[in-house]
A and B are shown apart, each in its own frame.
Chain A
Amino acid sequence: MKTVIMLLSLIIYLNAESVSESIYDNIIIRDIKETNQNLDRLIALTKSDATDEKQRDGFKSLMTSWKRVETLYLAADLDEDLLDMPRYIDIFHQGKEDIYKQLDRILLSSDSLDVELFKNSTKSINALEYLIFKSTQKSLRQKDMILYILEHMGKRLKEIEKFYVEHRELFMKDSQKMNAIIMNALIESSYKLKEWRVGDPAGLSHKYRGNPKESRAEYHISKLSFSAIEAILLAHQAVIGEQSYTNFSAIVRSAGATSELRSIQEHIKKALQLLHLAPASDFGSDEIKRLYEELTKLHNAYYISLIGRLKVTSKILDSDGD
């Protein structure tokens, strides 16, 4: 599933504006700022030749905060110029290139990085993962490539931050539109989470049923795929779980969908528990099978139950059959 469009009915929810405002302040801005801070920290660690462990921890922080930004990437719906930004940063499930082979070749080349790293895929977070985790001993060229990629990612991430900071009013202007965009993001993310990030490596998805393969996991090189899944679930929890700030749950509650809300929150909680119980990086465990089932329920709860209760009309525009 790629795109879901919703046409909200004319029901006006109470506090809709303050909900958008709160989501903007407590999630959108917080996450992008944190991601940029993590990126700057990783640059500093790399420049100072910090230990491998520190650098890898730095990558994990950057990656997990980026996953939160990506989960609730609302900028694409607010400004078409920012539509492709995630694609420049992250190539998971896009294209069929073997970037590892390309990166190995570039590591051996002496041509300038401006020339060699011209493809966006070789400047992605996925390329960064490979370069940071492929070996403990890093060559000078490898370090230069890591810094080059971080600089490229930084430009994109700072552009996203700038957009959010300068366009706060867009979040307040049309709360119904914002609700639709948020709902859309949750549905799309829950689908990709269950099918791409859990189902595909575990051999449980429609596409790969009965054919598990760990290398289909999002961060199989660094073995951080579970951390990415956790970050995405936490992003859902931030938007619709019980929090100290007002979030999308207020909208759901005001629409009288309390039981649906409770069910969604429960699915997120259970999914996190199962993920924590699962043996590290093992997509073949029972916990992962149950996680897939839980994520399917979460997706259905968003897509079927919640949409129905919010009196929202939904329509899948584009399904890739995965």
Chain B
Amino acid sequence: MKIRTTLSRGLLLAALLGMTLCLGSSSKIDTSTIIGNYTRIATENYDDVVKDAEELKRAIDDFANKPTKATLERSKKAWLNSRESYGTSEIFRLSNGPIDAEDGWIAEAYGSLESQINAWPLDENIIDYTIDADGKKTSGNIIDTEGKFDPGGEDSSVIDITNITIESITALNENGGDANVATGYHAIEFLLWGQDQDYSNFMKDSITNGAMRAGERPLSDFTTDRHAQRRLSYLKVATAKLLSDLKRVASAWSPEISDNCSVNPKGCYRGAINHMLKGADAKKNIDPKVALREILSGMGKFIKSEVANERIAVAVLTPSEEDEPSCFSDNTHRDIASAYIGFKNVLTGSYGGVKGSSFLDKVDETSRAKIEKLMSSIEEKIDSIDRVATTKAHFDYQIRPDNPQGRVIVKLKNQMRKLGDMMPVVAKQNGLELTADDVTSKHETEI
């Protein structure tokens, strides 16, 4: 997660000025327009996200019913698979859309659930035991505490976790600070894989020593351990909540558009962004120019500030294993790849083998060639990181100071930042004004 949405003053002003209004009368999306095709991509991508999360839930439920090596492996596989479609959907972030809008009717309607779904980085110690820097097993976490639990941190509140429920983990999520993560993909990831990092020194790597080893939580944690049942309950509850949250976000893009968005927001964002809401809801319709600017601004911030800076630069320049997104499963190479694919999908207007209207279509030949060359170079590096991660060394070994692959990762970071900086050029050639400030998050971690 890291970077949060803020509606820039420029965008707000543009919204208030309200430019050309294109009133739609049909409920069918016009996919020949950029917004229409963007809607198609979002709808299909979120459909895939929900399908994959449903499979994850089935796998986890089966595992909870019968915890064996095979069911654990199937759960892990389902988690890894679910990250692929979720990864590509992340491009819909930072655009004042249903996944993470923080103000206004969109936030109210869809709950700004990104921080419940994909919060990261997280302090895993509040979830379950780890081996600390002194080699001691930690305690005082959600799993081993029965009754009242204080997650600690600033202004934290005590939650009753006698039973691990959707309500209790929701109340614990980010309770006491952003790192107090109790829900979402990465909480589930930690429960499935367990600790991978050696907190005393990541070069020593004494927890799960080896370049190709991720976290290896023993099956006994789910079978014979005295907290086994709580772990299984936690997994079930966290996955059920994840699915429910994802469905709520996906509902924003539903082709069935509610006729009263204040009561039932189903499909209302889809309606609003395509200027199709009528009656009392018509005021929710988003000016197309504002929508396009927000999309492009979000794309720039996502690739430049979120992916390049928060997810890659912090990890590789420090270097630091704890700053890689999927540090328990060692799936960071896929996080990077899928985030980029999502960016590419929207820029080129493609999803599911179908190419539609896109921002890139309107870019002149020279700029387009420049962007495509940059993307091609980015893809080579993503492929390289992916190949090495699956054959020789996971991402946490690739960022080690003695690994030349670190240079590839640094180059990737620089090129992704450049790509983000190209969004004002893309905007201009699509008749929009976007500054470099609009594609750079104000909350970038200084490294």
Contacts and interface: CB of A to CB of B under 8 A. Distances in A.
User: Of residues A87, A88, A118, which shows the largest number of chain B Cβ atoms within 10 Å of its Cβ?
Assistant: A118
Contacts of B218: none
A94 B446 contact: yes
Interface stretch (B177-185, B186-194, B197-205, B324-332): B197-205
A11 interface: no
A119 interface: yes
Interface string A131-171: 00000000000000000000000000000000000000000
B288 to A, nearest CB: 27
Interface string A1-20: 00001000000000000000
A248 B319 CA distance: 38
Interface in A91-122: 93-95, 111, 114-116, 118-121
State the 5 A-B residue pairs at the shortest beta-carbon distance, nearest first: A317-B436, A80-B414, A115-B203, A118-B203, A318-B440
A321 B446 contact: no
B415 interface: yes
Given A115-B203, A116-B203, A320-B446, 20 more contacts: A80-B411, A80-B418, A81-B411, A83-B414, A94-B447, A95-B446, A111-B204, A114-B203, A114-B402, A115-B204, A116-B201, A118-B203, A118-B319, A118-B401, A120-B318, A120-B401, A317-B436, A318-B436, A319-B437, A321-B442
Nearest to A3: B436
A261 to B, nearest CB: 29
Interface of A: 5, 80-81, 83-84, 87-88, 93-95, 111, 114-116, 118-121, 315-321
9 contacts: A80-B414, A81-B411, A84-B317, A93-B446, A94-B446, A118-B319, A118-B401, A318-B440, A321-B442
B418 A121 contact: no
Nearest to A97: B318
A316 B410 CA distance: 24
A119 B435 CA distance: 35
Contacts of A118: 201-203, 319, 400-401
A81 B400 CA distance: 18
A115 B200 CA distance: 11
A316 B414 CA distance: 19
Contact of B317 (A87, A93, A114, A317): A87
Contacts of B202: 118
**Secondary structure type dominating chain A contacts:** mixed
A73 B376 CA distance: 29
Interface string B313-352: 0000111100000000000000000000000000000000
Interface residues of B, number: 24
B442 to A, nearest CB: 7
Given A5-B436, A84-B410, A315-B436, A120 B317 contact: yes
Contacts of B436: 5, 315, 317-318
Contacts of B410: 81, 84
Nearest to B439: A317
Contacts of B446: 93-95, 320
Contacts of A80: 411, 414-415, 418
Contacts of A120: 317-319, 401
Nearest to B435: A315
Contacts of A116: 201, 203
Contacts of A95: 318, 446-447
| B402, B411, B446: most-surrounded residue (chain A CB, <10 A) | B446
Interface in B397-447: 400-402, 407, 410-411, 414-415, 418, 435-437, 440, 442, 446-447
Nearest to A96: B446
Nearest to B400: A118
Contacts of A119: 318-320
B48 to A, nearest CB: 34
Interface string B43-54: 000000000000
Interface in B376-406: 400-402
Contacts of B317: 84, 87-88, 120
Contacts of B437: 316-319
A179 B113 CA distance: 47
Nearest to A81: B411
Contacts of A318: 436-437, 440
Contacts of B435: 315
A43 B136 CA distance: 40
Nearest to B418: A80
A112 B74 CA distance: 40
B393 to A, nearest CB: 15
A195 to B, nearest CB: 14
Nearest to B414: A80
Among B317, B411, B435, B440, the one with the most A-chain Cβ atoms within 10 Å of its Cβ is B317
Contacts of A88: 317
Nearest to B436: A317
A114 B204 CA distance: 10
Contacts of A121: 318
A83 B317 CA distance: 12
A37 B437 CA distance: 40
Interface string B16-51: 000000000000000000000000000000000000
Contacts of A5: 436
A116 B203 CA distance: 8
B447 to A, nearest CB: 6
Contacts of B447: 87, 94-95
B321 to A, nearest CB: 10
Contacts of A320: 446
Contacts of B418: 80
Contacts of B320: 119
A95 B414 CA distance: 19
B387 to A, nearest CB: 21
A315 B447 CA distance: 23
Contacts of B440: 317-318
Nearest to A317: B436
Nearest to A93: B446
